[in-house]
Amino acid sequence: MKDFLIKEIQPDSYFSKNTYLDKGFILTAPETPYTLELVKLIEKWNYKSIYSEGEAGRNYSGKVALEDPSASAGLSQQTDSDKLEKGRRNIQLFYKFYGHFIC
């Protein structure tokens, strides 16, 4: 797993694989953008870097590497933009209802 310095992560960027706050705590999934708010919270928690086996990029690719191709058989027919919008709404709701616990 590679480490990425928080100060070098561009706001609203995406990672191609899950990111971790430490070696075991999942921070984000690939469809979750690194918003400026999230970057500030991570810095507030005094973390200097995050970890991922993926790469950072400016756009969400929507491509998820599945180890078992048959695992995709049950996936819905939602478009990537639908999934992206749902992910954005979920992260906003999370911070709306639970943000005061982590600030």
Q: Which residue has the tokens 């990029």?
A: 57
pLDDT for position 85: 85
> Is 5 within 8 Å of 48 (Cβ atoms)?
yes
Phi, psi of 34 (to 5 degrees): -85, 90
Residues 55 and 93: their CA atoms lie apart, in Å, by 26
Is the model more confident about 34 or about 74?
Answer: 34
CA-CA-CA-CA torsion sign (37, 97, 18, 77): negative
What pTM, to 2 d.p., does this model score?
0.56
What mean pLDDT do residues 23-49 have? 89
pLDDT in tens, 1-30: 899 999 898 888 899 999 999 878 899 999
